[in-house]
Structure 1
Amino acid sequence: MIFRHLTFAALAAAASTGPSSVLAAAPHHATGTFEVKIVPATEDKGPDGGSTLSRLTLDKTYAGALTATSKGEMLAAGGSVPTSAAYVAVERITGTLDGRAGSFAVVQHGWMQGDQRVMDVMIVPDSGGGALKGLAGTFRIEIKDGKHFYVMDYTLDGQ
């Protein structure tokens, strides 16, 4: 049932992540909020009651230092226990970052088991286009009181 995979969507949308080790210290810091729409596309239940595989589409709208929209794809696997799952996702973000117009991609992965949740998001190396060419750094997602926030620490063309 695709409804069950909204649990994966909740993991992707609601889990907090720690900073990536891509950059030790970046001179630019950007924060803001985002909204996400997750739509189940396909679901394949295992024949033996074990894992279920799903594909979902992501549409996000970012506000703050990053004013942008994004499109993405998520692949998720669920275990036989409703609170056990894992996912991977790739997203292209297009808009402006601190006034610079362009696009870049992020990749994320996460898993959950019971109350444990882990999620890691990183800016895809050399994915920046337009005025964001050369973008590198970290991208975190945080959830507070049901609201989604992003935190970026980045460099741009070595700055």
Structure 2
Amino acid sequence: MTPPNARPDADAPADGPMASAVSSCPDAGRAPAAPGLVTMTRRADFLSAARARRQGGPAIMVQARKRETPDPAPGAIRVGFTCSKKVGNAVARNRAKRRLREVARLELPLIGRPGWDYVLIGRRDATADRPFDLLCADFVRAIAKLHGKG
């Protein structure tokens, strides 16, 4: 008999009616990433992008950098998202980040450059409230200026 507070083996199959549903769908509830887009999660990657180029718009700030040659994913476009507490409470920050993720999903595969990192930063009272087509236009304009096309 196992003690009531014992942890099950990591290799042992899960029991219960939902075990098969959970294990067969690891990304449940997440939108599929666009091909070639990799989400940045390490703080060091965000800090590296912050030291490079930046371009702002009315509702968005974009930081970008070209990665160095020993690149683990040379053909990938990496993207990160952030909103400070100035944007609002957790609900407002999450809404702004959802909108930024959708803008990146739609636009970065078309206008982003492989081998580059992009960080999208939400702005207070603008990212969540700006009409989506204008938010996309702000992002496209910022990327064009970052790459010297605008």
TM-score > 0.5, shorter chain as reference: no
Q: Greater RCO between the two (CA within 8 Å, min separation 6)?
A: 2
TM bucket, shorter chain? under 0.3
Name the structure with the higher strand share.
1
Q: Rg larger in 1 or in 2?
A: 2
